[in-house]
Structure 1
Amino acid sequence: MSEPRLAEQDLAALVSDWLTWDEAAELLGVTPAKARTMVRDHQLAAAVPALVPATGVKQGIPSLFIVDGEPVKGLPGLLTVLHDNGFDDRECIAWIFLDADLPGRPIDALRENRGAEVKRRAQALLL
């Protein structure tokens, strides 16, 4: 059996902690509207965690995307590369939280300031 495509990944299983728009805005020191703008501008990514959302389940932002009141270093550039490759936010989140042949997940590498290799691997997707 083949591995599910990125769009078919169960984000709720990949990402353990999600932030609401209000929680993300508070951590970032901005308004919820500004947090939404940051998602639109690919500084952050948001998605509904479940493939088949239950009633009332809303979009969220993975909590690991924010460190010390800012998006994780390297995340905006990585999201831009992934979006340029045709990924939507859901696919971006799945790729970032899956092991992409790195020693660990791309999100862990970003949080440990090892983003150059993650970005190189994302750029290789364009080939």
Structure 2
Amino acid sequence: MDEQISGGPTEWLTLPDVAERLDLSISKVNQMVKDGLLLVVRHDGVRRVPADLIATETALRHLPGILNVLRDAGYNDEEALEWLYIPDDSLAGGCAAVALGGPNTTEVKRRAQALGF
């Protein structure tokens, strides 16, 4: 199923693109996907990662924790992607996905944790 999100990611990366950007082997990226450390959805028939989620070291470091919290709250990967891209002017960058890579990381975590209650 292809994922189309209004106001969602503006740039999508294939897994080989992710490997290149992170200077990792494709097998390491595949392992990260298998371990749930990256959010991957089908977009245009190809497994892709929103570029925002690996744009900074901060985003990449905090993404697995956010994904765990969202999954614990019952979100599947497509729903987690939608949540990350809900427009929110109170966050730097206008949504949780972009804010995750900046100074609002703690706020994004807090909001994700609140979903479990």
**Pair 1:116–1:28, CA change in 2 (3 A):** same
Cα distance per residue 1:4-34 (max 9 Å; x no partner): xxxxx72375111110110001111112221
Normalization by structure 1: what TM-score? 0.76
- Secondary structure of the corresponding residue to residue 42 of structure 2: coil
Residues matched between the structures, number: 113
Q: Which segments of 5 or more consecutive residues in structure 1 lack a partner in the other structure?
A: 1-8
> In the alignment, does 2:32 pair up with 1:38?
yes
Q: Which segments of 5 or more consecutive residues in structure 2 lack a partner in the other structure?
A: none
- Shift of residue 113 of structure 1? 2.7
- Structure number with larger C-alpha Rg: 1
| Residues 73 and 110 in structure 1, CA contact (< 8 A), matched pair in contact too | no
> Hey, what does 2:76 align to over in structure 1?
88
> Hey, what does 1:117 align to over in structure 2?
107
- Shift of residue 68 of structure 1? 5.1
Which 4+ residue blocks in structure 1 deviate beyond 4 angstroms?
A: 68-71
CA RMSD of aligned residues (A): 2.3
> Hey, what does 1:6 align to over in structure 2?
none
- Secondary structure of the corresponding residue to residue 59 of structure 1: strand
Percent identity between the two aligned chains: 33
